[in-house]
Structure 1
């Protein structure tokens, strides 16, 4: 008789015991992909509710308020311009309400987007700080909506949002300008200062607190020129419209023989030298003006190389008034970028392109973002 086989005992499977508190924490831990999907669904729902009808875009700069009615294809169908009352937040709010009221008379406005030159909170409602304007924790969205209701007896559009002006310009270029088709875009706007915007995979990157993209306040020269933000040596003190004019006036005040053409064009008054005047002189072949643009372009290229090291974009779009100089500025910038780029020769180079929307980029982007994009 065969002896029955002894059954081999099964190895017990030990399941890890997760404490209840840890399990609850894990359940609450946000999944970045899920959060991104929820954000996209919210945007799609908002866009469906608001639609692609005419939206108001307002670009508040250090010296001017430019505004327009923008259709769903990014075309500006009506436009207004006002001087920025920089010493009075209430004055700016009244100006914006005036503009919205005027546009609402002739257009069925679906939303309002306000691009402000300053730090805007993550709720896209309050201007926390504006170096070139008299705003500190200014609840701009609420103030404008209140003033519009007081004027018209109703709200205008389904939604009002406040954006950083450079974020708005970046979005405008991404959707309708030089950044079309680029999945990793940076926009650098050279005006009174330097603004910046980041667009990645169809979304504006605003940062944890809404303040991402303030490239102009990266310190490139410790202890350098004083900046309106309170620091010294910020990038915008070397590669902006203010930097260009400051250096041109210093040359003229010193009675440098190379500055005679600039002084002649300014009627002999160094203080009458402006950015557009320097651009005109450079286009006419003036050596001093050309050299000034080479200096600003060199600083621009160095800053772009730093941004490439940190963010690795595919395209950097250069906008703002100083970009009107085109290759007088961008040629030296590309050269300095290539010479300064980390790992040069062993990595792809990004594309540096001039903005296509010109001075309308900010208002076009603000209007489009107010519909629920970005």
Structure 2
């Protein structure tokens, strides 16, 4: 492999497929993006979209393609075992893409790739024990222990979003009830905001105006912007998500005892409107609080590009 050669990273989420041409020091020099096909779409259609964005960026210098996929991914085999927000079920994604692309393909969970990027180039640089929590359509997670990504026996560790926090709670797309991501994710934020607009609650007047009184048009970024503009209801909704985030993180602190939690994904764009309620909730629910060192909670530094940057870096390393 040529020193300094670029790689392509692709981040596949519930709403978008984002790709970037990434240098060996984590700089994205070109970008491409497509909408994620509907979850009921055949797996081959999603594969076509991935190939399309890669080919847009492909140059003779590219040495590998890294894929960060939302779902239960076995990085050892390149198979997507289960994706709650897509139609993949035991999908041999790595094998299929390798047959269609002229360079090696590496597949991992999108939270793993984001965590690796933050460790190499971002908010977790210099830290060896880190838990990443990605708040997007759902919740993804990753664990770095002693400087190494820990993927578990079958390669699918870190699916924190499907820990049950409310027995008998909201139905989750995974099929269970009360999963953490039903209370601390972009979907949870939008669901609660839409319910207020549908009910024509006076406190939701600002949100209703932003979506033209059509709850179906209300999005997470709209809610975040409303909160940043001073709407107290939007700020309260983000604070509720932050409180649930803190509950889950307190449990993860007991399990992994990291020095740092990095909060990424689209919802993290809310910044301190989300993180400060999360820190307060974390401290309130932490076992042994006041008698143990407390992990820090910080926002991801690489924003929405962490997943694709990490995917590219891991792919480059896989062919060295």
Tell me the TM-score range normalised by the shorter chain. over 0.9
**Aligned counterparts of 1:361 and 1:217: Cα–Cα separation in 2:** 22
RMSD (Å), alpha carbons: 1.4
Instruction: Give the ranges of 4+ consecutive aligned residues of structure 1 lying more than 6 Å apart after TM superposition.
Output: none
**Aligned counterparts of 1:50 and 1:306: Cα–Cα separation in 2:** 43
Residue aligning to 2:12: 60
User: Structure 2 length normalisation: TM-score?
Assistant: 0.96
Residue aligning to 1:35: none
**Aligned counterparts of 2:56 and 2:225: Cα–Cα separation in 1:** 35
Q: Trace 1:1-374 onto structure 2 (pairs within 5 A).
A: 49=1, 51-86=3-38, 87-104=41-58, 106-148=59-101, 155-156=102-103, 159-372=104-317
User: Structure 1 length normalisation: TM-score?
Assistant: 0.82
> Counterpart of 1:56 in 2: which secondary structure?
strand
Q: Deviations over 1:149-179 (max 9, x none)?
A: xxxxxx22xx311000011001011100000
217 and 50 in structure 1: CA distance in 2 versus 1, 3 angstrom threshold: farther
Q: Deviations over 1:33-63 (max 9, x none)?
A: xxxxxxxxxxxxxxxx574410110001111
- Aligned pairs, how many? 317
Confirm or deny: 8 A CA contact 2:73 2:79 kept in the other structure. Answer: yes
**Aligned counterparts of 2:233 and 2:147: Cα–Cα separation in 1:** 42
> Counterpart of 1:371 in 2: which secondary structure?
helix
Q: Which runs of 5+ in 1 are unaligned?
A: 1-48, 149-154
Q: Deviations over 1:125-156 (max 9, x none)?
A: 110110000100111011111122xxxxxx22
Confirm or deny: 8 A CA contact 1:94 1:144 kept in the other structure. Answer: no
Confirm or deny: 8 A CA contact 2:133 2:263 kept in the other structure. Answer: yes
**Aligned counterparts of 1:319 and 1:263: Cα–Cα separation in 2:** 27
Larger radius of gyration: 1
Q: Deviations over 1:90-125 (max 9, x none)?
A: 112112222333322x34111111111111125141
**Aligned counterparts of 1:133 and 1:120: Cα–Cα separation in 2:** 13
